[in-house]
């Protein structure tokens, strides 16, 4: 069976979310968002390592809050870099050579399902690199940044919105990470780095519910989906037995 390591980048600033606490560490229906994302992987038999990457500023508080569960579940805590690709590079240093594939999954994307992970893992094993994505359904408009005037309606034919996990042969991702400074355009995901090294990355159909929590609205929607998937059963107290009751 091919083996996998999973990297969970959680070192972002959460600037679009607002509030005092960063998104990955907020409780989502009673459990930290990053923890819900990690749970998708650490019980899988083919996953040998899970790394969570946090900002150096958050390391101390993260270890105080989550160090025990990380120790029990074998999660490696890694200091992040200034950018996402630097954080992934830091985590790759902890991935053993015997691991065949590395999956990178957003720490704030906690609603992936086992079937989706099965599908993208299998596609990566078959083709070397694969990622979840969904076809773009909405009409796309290119807008002038200064005036908000619509400059162009963009055809959505062939356009897919990227999701995670994104899964790669370990040596492909290592090579891409080492050569990331040669990429002229801003790096927005790990597949972009692998593509720049000449490797093909294949899309596996994802799900609209496998979204990244970016805003407060996303958070509320994620909480509603979790509760719908795992409804809490209300129990009613049984009335005391009445020996004089007539049956």
Q: How confident is the model at residue 90 (pLDDT cuts 50, 70, 90)?
A: very high
Question: Mind giving me the DSSP string for the chain?
Answer: ---EEEEEEE----TTT-SSS-GGGSEETTEEHHHHHHHTTTT-TTEEEEEEEE-GGGHHHHHHHHHHHHHHHTEEEEE--SSHHHHHHHHHTTS-TT--EEEE--TT-TT--HHHHHHHHHHHHHHSEEEEEEE--S-EEEE-TTT--EEEEEP-TT-EEEEEEEEEEHHHHHHHHHTGGG--SPP-SHHHHHHHTT---EEEE--TTS----SHHHHHHHHHHHHHHSPPPP--PPPPP-TT---
Q: What is the pLDDT of residue 221?
A: 97
What average pLDDT does the structure give for the chain? 91
**243 vs 152, residue with greater confidence:** 152
Give the domain ranges of the chain: 4-229
Q: Each residue of 118-128: pLDDT tens digit?
A: 999 999 999 99
4-229 folds as Spore Coat Polysaccharide Biosynthesis Protein SpsA; Chain A (3.90.550)
Evaluate if residue 243 carries a pLDDT over 50.
Answer: no
Evaluate if residue 241 carries a pLDDT over 80.
Answer: no
Q: What is the pLDDT of residue 244?
A: 47
Q: Each residue of 192-232: pLDDT tens digit?
A: 999 999 999 999 999 999 999 999 999 999 999 999 988 77
Evaluate if residue 181 carries a pLDDT over 50.
Answer: yes
Q: What is the pLDDT of residue 19?
A: 57
Q: Each residue of 126-145: pLDDT tens digit?
A: 999 999 999 999 999 999 99
């Amino acid at each position: 069976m091919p083996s996998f390591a999973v990297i969970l980048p959680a070192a972002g600033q959460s600037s679009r979310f607002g509030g005092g606490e960063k998104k990955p560490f907020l409780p989502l229906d009673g459990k930290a968002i990053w923890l819900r994302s990690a749970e998708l992987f650490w019980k899988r038999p083919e996953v040998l390592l899970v790394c969570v990457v946090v900002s150096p500023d958050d390391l101390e508080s993260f270890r105080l809050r989550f160090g025990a569960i990380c120790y029990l579940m074998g999660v490696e805590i890694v200091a992040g870099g200034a950018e996402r690709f630097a954080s992934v590079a830091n985590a790759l240093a902890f991935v053993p050579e015997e691991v065949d594939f590395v999956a990178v999954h957003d720490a704030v994307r906690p609603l992936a399902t086992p079937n989706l992970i099965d599908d993208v893992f299998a596609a990566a094993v078959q083709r070397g690199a694969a990622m979840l994505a969904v076809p773009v359904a909405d009409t796309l408009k290119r807008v002038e940044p200064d005036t908000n005037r619509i400059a162009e309606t963009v055809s959505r034919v062939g356009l897919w919105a990227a999701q995670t996990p994104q899964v790669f042969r370990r040596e492909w991702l290592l090579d891409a990470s080492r050569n990331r400074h040669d990429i002229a355009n801003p790096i927005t995901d790990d597949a972009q780095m692998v593509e720049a090294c000449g490797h093909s990355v294949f899309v596996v159909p994802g799900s609209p519910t496998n979204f990244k929590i970016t805003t407060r609205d996303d958070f509320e929607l994620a909480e509603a989906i979790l509760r719908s998937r795992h409804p809490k059963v209300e129990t009613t107290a049984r009335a005391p037995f009445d020996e004089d009751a007539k049956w």
